[in-house]
Amino acid sequence: CSTKPKTDLLIDLHTTTTNMGTTLIVAAGDPLTTKAAAYVMWKCRHNASNKISILMHTHKNQEQRPHLSSIAPHCFSIEAGPVPQGVLRHDIVENTQEALDATLEFFERYNSHPEQIDQELRDAFPSGLLPCYVSAPSQRQ
């Protein structure tokens, strides 16, 4: 198995039975995906039915992530719920699509004009602080 990843970014889409709305999950310490999450939160701010939350997971490094996202240096998960098992909810699909479209827009724009995106994010979040949750560290014995 090669230690060099064959991809730079992985976007993982999930539904959950948990009532967590649309939640973006990024790795703590990854400025690129943190900027992407801020951009998505900002782009979706006018849709009252799609309140975006951000969760930073605290795995120390990529190798310790127990998720699909561990196969790429940059991971970005969009988790949406609540969705009961075996059910397709159109509102959740639409909210996920809106978040995914904003995510793809961020990376397309960031690849060509990073300084413009950085300025937009400074304007959107003038304090430099991004409202987010942080996962609690696991206790292994």
- 79, 105, 115, 120: which one is catalytic? 79
CA distance 77 to 33: 10
CA distance 45 to 51: 7
- Cβ-proximal residues to 136 (8 Å cutoff; 6+ apart), any chain: 58
- Cβ-proximal residues to 73 (8 Å cutoff; 6+ apart), any chain: 5, 8, 9, 62
Nearest to 101 by CA among 51, 36, 48: 36
Enter the tokens of residue 4: 């060099």
Q: Is 94 a catalytic residue?
A: no
Enter the tokens of residue 83: 């969705």
Catalytic residue positions, numbered? 79
